[in-house]
A and B are shown apart, each in its own frame.
Chain A
Amino acid sequence: MSGVNTLAIPHPAEAGHWGKDIRSDLHVSIEPRDSGGLEITLESRVGLYYGSSILSQTRQVLESLGVKQARITIHDEGALPFVISARIEAATKRASLGTDKKVLPERAALPKPSPRDRLRRSRLYLPGSEPKYFINAALHGPDAIILDLEDSVHHAEKDAARILVRNTLRAVDFGGCERMVRINQLPLGLQDLTEVIPEEPDLILIPKVERPEQVSQVDRMIDELKSRDRIDRPIWLMPIVESALGIENAFAIATVSPDVCALTIGLEDYTADLGVAKTLEGRESQYARTRLVNAAKAAGIQAIDSVFGDVGDLAGLRQWGENSRALGFEGMGCIHPSQIPVIHEAFAPTQVEIEKALTIVAAFEEAQQRGLGVVSLGSKMIDPPVVERARKLVVRARAMGKA
């Protein structure tokens, strides 16, 4: 279904989902024909309230895709307009129609460009083919959301998810969240980039990176698309290292492009690569995680931890997060909104740490004012790196509303 042959003869196709347990999605089937114009049949859970609006939107989308003769059947489960457009477009393209066109929803205001070293404690994964999670994701206050095109999307759904994610980036207001997209492994990931980069995500997660060349390839493609579309805001890269070889190459990966702002690790694949079991204590990945932190810090970028898979175990998550922070990680992934506040707590400096840092910073500022080269606290002399660490901690704590 994906990688449509543009020369193919138009044929019946479908996209999307419907049924009793489906919400906020729709199913579109299209039967191209030679005459008779457009014939649209709509069954919608919200038909009484938005039926005519859905019909007119359907006509508009088909018109923009150049479809003039077809029978369309829609089963709608209360999908929002940007989802409706995406599903119609996906079905149409699968039918080998309108393959050179796209229909973009109205654009929500773009958030401010993302600073390279912004707070990245939590990033909430949103499966790229599950529209019901998109609209309220930002309400739960993660530092970032990830629209995932990789593991959470079935192979046969990649083309439709790409269009849906593109529309989502454009139409959904994610508030203060950094907007991340996890693309597929190359070469499929390059098609993802073509679709999503024009909508200016803040960051691209590159999966299963083992060698720096993989990152360069993505970086080059993004640069081309950015200059084509005159995008001048940064689009950062976060390579996901998920294998023994990737860990060995971590520093080279971290330094291959100035656009790489963080390194992260995928522990499911990493432990599989090692042929060991993934445990709650994580002893089997201790080396890889510390090695990754070291490589990231050596490259002057952030180190971000994997996800914690057991949604029900918030105490375990808290412990994992605290341990992770102690190793030098600055954040981790979440697969459920309930994990967000726990992660934020785990990655926050403790009150004792904050108070100590504030005292050190105050002593430093006083020394500066008095023109002293040496900072001292009581009878102890404070080394410059200690001052620097204290200053960083205070900045972070302020950003988290803790100091």
Chain B
Amino acid sequence: MSERIELAQNAAGRSVPTMVNGRPQIPFLGIGQYQPRGRKAAPPIFSSKDYPENGDKRVANLETALRNCGLRNGMVISNHHHLRDGDRVALMALEAAAKIGVKDLMWFPSASFPSQQGAIELMQSGVIHHIEGSMNGPLGDYCTQGKMRGMGVLRSHGGRWQAIQDGEVHIDVAVIAAPTADAFGNADGSHGKSACGSLGFALADSMYADRVIVVTDNLVPFPCIPWQIQGNNVDYIVEVDSIGDPGKIVSGTTQITRSPDRLRIAEFVARFLREAGIMRNGFSFQAGAGGIALAFVDYLRRMMKEDGVKARFVRGGSTKFLVDLLQEGLTDYILDGQTFDLDGVKSIGSDPRHVATSPFTSYNYHGKGNFASMVDAVVLGATEVDVNFNANVVTHSDGRLLHGIGGWQNCLAAGCTILAVPSFRDRIPVIIDEVTTLTGPGELIDVVATERGIAINPRRQDLLDAVKGSSLPIRPIQDIKAEVERICGGKPARPKLGDRPVAIVKWVDGTVLDTIWQVS
């Protein structure tokens, strides 16, 4: 990466590279401004003649499967992250690739986790050239310190589907960890000792990759019922003892935060939905699995009961708290993108009203609509928000990678987007003049709820009117910012970022929204 990198200013005023990993890039043009034409990508045509008539696609091990798939230098290998920090399959696949002597792979996970820091050694030894996918912890540091050979590309869950579908990323071999599968390749995540709930993140990989390998530790006789991955897309099945550590795949019981400040934020958000009239019969909402979001669901549940209000659907990240809503009749359906705890896994495996979705149905921007924009309200976190409501979710204020984008960007399409954040963390103000890394444009962010008050985006006069006269502490965002700066002893100094791009942040339409710069 010693060559000069051309930079251009995008519509958000951010400086972004025009060429990344050998592919020309389109700088962000503004929301809804980029409309690509042409046809979607597609895998090659295959013939049943080349697959066993008895449907048994098993091979002895991953090495054989990868060899049979024709894995070679410079190819793209993908994994999903439904097994979260408990996943064993991604590293198993990459190490098998190393064993057969393949180099310079692009690893394309739907997200990476701290337990996969073994990927660093594989980058050092040349097996992996670079990673396109979320990186945090040691992997994130490796990237932001400029040690990766290629550039990191951060995409939302919807953006990853869009990139695969639009042909921006061509997956040569997808390796899909499956908690249950049959020998034909039908696979599902809701049963088995390593059950993880939905397998939605692997769906695009199974449909668009040239070759697909399913790895399972729970092989059942055909047919695997239900299936989310269709065996007709699968080349090989590999049976292993364990695809992951169940204790890390799902958490036992997800705990609500006990911090009084965070509880206060959660209660504000629930009251806001009630008082703004968003919480009404037939409404819908989405909240993640963070401490504030869980507490928010719990407060909202009580208010829905008090007011006799029922939701049509809720979107997860599902946890016990959403499952409780379903079981108490407070929602008709859970549309689940990923399943975080044991209660969620049990529910998705047994209750037909708890439905597995995919980034295609929920998030993909280059489709005929998606669910995200039909959700009435979404509650999200952020590391920083600026006075124009632009938000950062991927980096610390010092520019180091912290989180993947996840579904965060896609969720901004909801009717009311609420960021639930403390006003400062460890003396570091969350509301600042300008975000370190732009992940979400302010025009899509409607409300910032902190423990010191709720700021409504002036673009949303309707929301301002809706809560006029309520007892909620509605305040201008500048006001909250000024108070926090007083408490913290002035504005924080802005850390110096480097001038060499190490990763980019894509917008949901595949254009480049911002750049992650090298930090020392």
Q: Which residue of chain B has its CB nearest to the CB of A341? A: B267
A403 at the interface (CB under 8 A from B): no
Asked whether, in the complex, the Cβ of A78 is within 8 Å of the Cβ of B426, the reply is yes
CB-CB < 8 A to A57: which residues of B?
Answer: 489
B351 at the interface (CB under 8 A from A): no
A305 at the interface (CB under 8 A from B): no
Q: Which of B229-237, B258-266, B441-449 is the interface stretch?
A: B258-266
B67 at the interface (CB under 8 A from A): no
CB-CB < 8 A to A49: which residues of B?
Answer: 397, 427-428, 492-493, 495
8 Å CB interface, A40-99 against B: 45-46, 48-53, 57, 77-81
Smallest CB–CB gap between B155 and chain A, Å? 28
Smallest CB–CB gap between B257 and chain A, Å? 12
Asked whether, in the complex, the Cβ of B398 is within 8 Å of the Cβ of A50, the reply is no
Contact A338-B451, Cβ < 8 Å, known A24-B426, A77-B426: no
**Interface size range on A against B:** 20 to 34
Query: A79 to B487, alpha carbons, bound, how many Å?
Result: 11
B490 at the interface (CB under 8 A from A): yes
**Interface size range on B against A:** 10 to 19
Contact of B488 among A23, A80, A140 (CB under 8 A): A80
Asked whether, in the complex, the Cβ of B427 is within 8 Å of the Cβ of A78, the reply is yes
Asked whether, in the complex, the Cβ of A45 is within 8 Å of the Cβ of B426, the reply is yes
CB-CB < 8 A to B487: which residues of A?
Answer: 80, 135
Query: A81 to B490, alpha carbons, bound, how many Å?
Result: 10
Asked whether, in the complex, the Cβ of B264 is within 8 Å of the Cβ of A140, the reply is yes
Q: Which residue of chain A has its CB nearest to the CB of B492? A: A49
CB-CB < 8 A to B425: which residues of A?
Answer: 78
Q: Mark B242-261, 1 if CB is under 8 A from A, else 0.
A: 00000000000000000011
Asked whether, in the complex, the Cβ of A46 is within 8 Å of the Cβ of B261, the reply is no
Query: A344 to B487, alpha carbons, bound, how many Å?
Result: 28
Contact A136-B426, Cβ < 8 Å, known A49-B493, A80-B488: no
Asked whether, in the complex, the Cβ of B398 is within 8 Å of the Cβ of A48, the reply is yes
8 Å CB interface, A336-355 against B: 336-338
B452 at the interface (CB under 8 A from A): yes
Asked whether, in the complex, the Cβ of B452 is within 8 Å of the Cβ of A139, the reply is yes
Asked whether, in the complex, the Cβ of B495 is within 8 Å of the Cβ of A48, the reply is yes
Q: Which residue of chain B has its CB nearest to the CB of A82? A: B489
Q: Mark A9-28, 1 if CB is under 8 A from B, else 0.
A: 00000000000000110000
Q: Mark B419-438, 1 if CB is under 8 A from A, else 0.
A: 00000011110000000000
Contact of B493 among A24, A48, A136, A139 (CB under 8 A): A48
A49, A52, A81 — most chain B CB neighbours (10 Å):
A49
Smallest CB–CB gap between B368 and chain A, Å? 45
Smallest CB–CB gap between B480 and chain A, Å? 12
Smallest CB–CB gap between B360 and chain A, Å? 40
Contact A50-B261, Cβ < 8 Å, known A80-B487, A136-B451, A139-B451: no
Contact A139-B261, Cβ < 8 Å, known A46-B428, A48-B493, A80-B489: yes
CB-CB < 8 A to A338: which residues of B?
Answer: 260, 263
CB-CB < 8 A to A50: which residues of B?
Answer: 427, 488-490, 492-493
Query: A45 to B492, alpha carbons, bound, how many Å?
Result: 13
Smallest CB–CB gap between B8 and chain A, Å? 29
CB-CB < 8 A to A45: which residues of B?
Answer: 426
Query: A45 to B493, alpha carbons, bound, how many Å?
Result: 14
B426, B451, B487, B488 — most chain A CB neighbours (10 Å):
B426
Asked whether, in the complex, the Cβ of B490 is within 8 Å of the Cβ of A53, the reply is yes
Q: Mark A327-343, 1 if CB is under 8 A from B, else 0.
A: 00000000011100000
Q: Which residue of chain A has its CB nearest to the CB of B471? A: A401
CB-CB < 8 A to A52: which residues of B?
Answer: 493
Smallest CB–CB gap between B292 and chain A, Å? 15
Asked whether, in the complex, the Cβ of B452 is within 8 Å of the Cβ of A46, the reply is no
Q: Which residue of chain A has its CB nearest to the CB of B453? A: A139
CB-CB < 8 A to A337: which residues of B?
Answer: 260
Smallest CB–CB gap between A146 and chain B, Å? 16
Asked whether, in the complex, the Cβ of A78 is within 8 Å of the Cβ of B451, the reply is no
Contact of A53 among B263, B398, B489, B495 (CB under 8 A): B489
CB-CB < 8 A to A136: which residues of B?
Answer: 260-261, 451
Contact A46-B427, Cβ < 8 Å, known A135-B487, A140-B264: yes
8 Å CB interface, B469-489 against A: 487-489
CB-CB < 8 A to B495: which residues of A?
Answer: 48-49
Query: A78 to B261, alpha carbons, bound, how many Å?
Result: 17
Q: Which residue of chain A has its CB nearest to the CB of B396? A: A48
Asked whether, in the complex, the Cβ of A23 is within 8 Å of the Cβ of B452, the reply is no
CB-CB < 8 A to A80: which residues of B?
Answer: 427, 487-489
CB-CB < 8 A to A77: which residues of B?
Answer: 426
Query: A79 to B263, alpha carbons, bound, how many Å?
Result: 22
Query: A324 to B3, alpha carbons, bound, how many Å?
Result: 76
Smallest CB–CB gap between A299 and chain B, Å? 35
CB-CB < 8 A to B451: which residues of A?
Answer: 136, 139
Query: A347 to B389, alpha carbons, bound, how many Å?
Result: 41
CB-CB < 8 A to B428: which residues of A?
Answer: 46, 49, 78
Query: A136 to B425, alpha carbons, bound, how many Å?
Result: 12
8 Å CB interface, A139-198 against B: 139-140
Asked whether, in the complex, the Cβ of A336 is within 8 Å of the Cβ of B426, the reply is no
CB-CB < 8 A to A79: which residues of B?
Answer: 427
Asked whether, in the complex, the Cβ of B260 is within 8 Å of the Cβ of A81, the reply is no
Q: Which residue of chain A has its CB nearest to the CB of B473? A: A139
Smallest CB–CB gap between A79 and chain B, Å? 7
CB-CB < 8 A to B398: which residues of A?
Answer: 48
CB-CB < 8 A to A24: which residues of B?
Answer: 426-427
Q: Which residue of chain B has its CB nearest to the CB of A84? A: B489
Smallest CB–CB gap between B194 and chain A, Å? 32
CB-CB < 8 A to A135: which residues of B?
Answer: 487
CB-CB < 8 A to A336: which residues of B?
Answer: 260
Q: Which residue of chain B has its CB nearest to the CB of A51? A: B493
Smallest CB–CB gap between B322 and chain A, Å? 23
CB-CB < 8 A to B490: which residues of A?
Answer: 50, 53
Query: A81 to B427, alpha carbons, bound, how many Å?
Result: 9
CB-CB < 8 A to A23: which residues of B?
Answer: 426
Asked whether, in the complex, the Cβ of A81 is within 8 Å of the Cβ of B489, the reply is yes
Q: Which residue of chain A has its CB nearest to the CB of B397? A: A49
Contact A46-B426, Cβ < 8 Å, known A80-B487, A135-B487, A139-B452: yes
Query: A77 to B426, alpha carbons, bound, how many Å?
Result: 7
CB-CB < 8 A to A81: which residues of B?
Answer: 489
Smallest CB–CB gap between A101 and chain B, Å? 22
Smallest CB–CB gap between A312 and chain B, Å? 10
Query: A52 to B427, alpha carbons, bound, how many Å?
Result: 14
Smallest CB–CB gap between A338 and chain B, Å? 6
Query: A49 to B488, alpha carbons, bound, how many Å?
Result: 11
Q: Which residue of chain B has its CB nearest to the CB of A44? A: B427
Smallest CB–CB gap between B28 and chain A, Å? 28
Q: Mark B439-465, 1 if CB is under 8 A from A, else 0.
A: 000000000000110000000000000
CB-CB < 8 A to A53: which residues of B?
Answer: 489-490, 493
Query: A148 to B127, alpha carbons, bound, how many Å?
Result: 60
B397, B451, B488, B495 — most chain A CB neighbours (10 Å):
B488
Query: A51 to B496, alpha carbons, bound, how many Å?
Result: 14
Smallest CB–CB gap between A336 and chain B, Å? 7
Smallest CB–CB gap between A269 and chain B, Å? 27
A-B contact pairs, 13 of them (CB 8 A): A45-B426, A46-B427, A48-B397, A48-B493, A50-B489, A51-B493, A53-B489, A53-B493, A135-B487, A136-B260, A139-B264, A336-B260, A338-B263
Measured CB to CB, the residues of B under 8 A from A are 260-261, 263-264, 397-398, 425-428, 451-452, 487-490, 492-493, 495
Inter-chain pairs besides A50-B488, A80-B488, A80-B489, 12 sampled, C-beta below 8 Å: A23-B426, A46-B492, A48-B493, A50-B492, A51-B493, A52-B493, A80-B427, A136-B260, A136-B261, A140-B260, A337-B260, A338-B263
Q: Which 5 A-B pairs have the closest CB atoms?
A: A78-B426, A49-B492, A337-B260, A81-B489, A78-B427
